[in-house]
Chain A
Amino acid sequence: AQRVTQPEKLLSVFKGAPVELKCNYSYSGSPELFWYVQYSRQRLQLLLRHISRESIKGFTADLNKGETSFHLKKPFAQEEDSAMYYCALRGGGSQGNLIFGKGTKLSVKP
């Protein structure tokens, strides 16, 4: 079964603290994973994809096939990082639909 699990509904940290949003996946083939972010009153948008191995707004995510994880990390959280974060997996088959986790709400306190 293809599944994305985000175990934390809410993550609260103080400004300047490290943050890690967890994501685990279940997929039989070679996965393609993404992090989407939804800031307050803004539309859901792509933050980063594992294939690019990029850092966006200080966030990075490494695909760990052994642990089937794709955790999102940032060494020093900022208040503007407060948002809803969704991990997503591109499913198999001809459609390749995106499969989303349930999301983690990140709250960064001053």
Chain B
Amino acid sequence: DGGITQSPKYLFRKEGQNVTLSCEQNLNHDAMYWYRQDPGQGLRLIYYSQIVNDFQKGDIAEGYSVSREKKESFPLTVTSAQKNPTAFYLCASRVGQGAAEAFFGQGTRLTVV
């Protein structure tokens, strides 16, 4: 079954701890993205990567970090510096930076207590 897989679906962490969200795709897409989805805020871009070993900050990158060591994987680390980490996180991919359609994962709901 091809697509984008995010894991876990639900994640709980204590305040002050770093946590890493997984995103894997087997679509052979070059471009991958992390969005944060909050009620009434829509989707806000955290980080994106157009190619392996390269990534760029999005609109709300503070308190987050990413890596892109493999084409298939784009993990997101929510650090303790993120002031309001509790949110729904969506990973997406596109064939390339010029592609129209983005394909999304099922999302990870992170709750920091």
Contact = CB atoms under 8 A, between A and B. Distances in A.
A94 B97 contact: yes
A49 interface: yes
A86 interface: yes
Interface residues on B, range: 20 to 34
Contacts of A43: 104-107
A97 B48 contact: yes
Interface stretch (B36-44, B63-71, B72-80): B36-44
Chain B interface secondary structure, helix, strand, loop or mixed?
strand
B106 to A, nearest CB: 5
A37 to B, nearest CB: 11
Contacts of B48: 95, 97
B97 A95 contact: yes
Chain A interface secondary structure, helix, strand, loop or mixed?
loop
B42 A97 contact: no
B56 interface: yes
A97 B97 CA distance: 7
B104 A45 contact: yes
A46 B101 contact: yes
A51 B105 CA distance: 25
Contacts of A36: 102
Interface in B75-113: 90, 92, 97-98, 100-107
A34 B99 CA distance: 12
10 contacts: A6-B42, A9-B40, A34-B100, A45-B103, A46-B101, A46-B102, A49-B100, A94-B97, A95-B97, A101-B42
10 cross-chain pairs, A with B, having the tightest CB-CB distances, nearest first: A102-B42, A100-B43, A44-B104, A43-B104, A100-B42, A46-B101, A43-B106, A103-B42, A95-B97, A96-B97
Given A95-B56, A95-B97, A101-B42, 9 more contacts: A9-B40, A45-B103, A46-B102, A49-B100, A86-B42, A95-B50, A97-B33, A97-B58, A102-B40
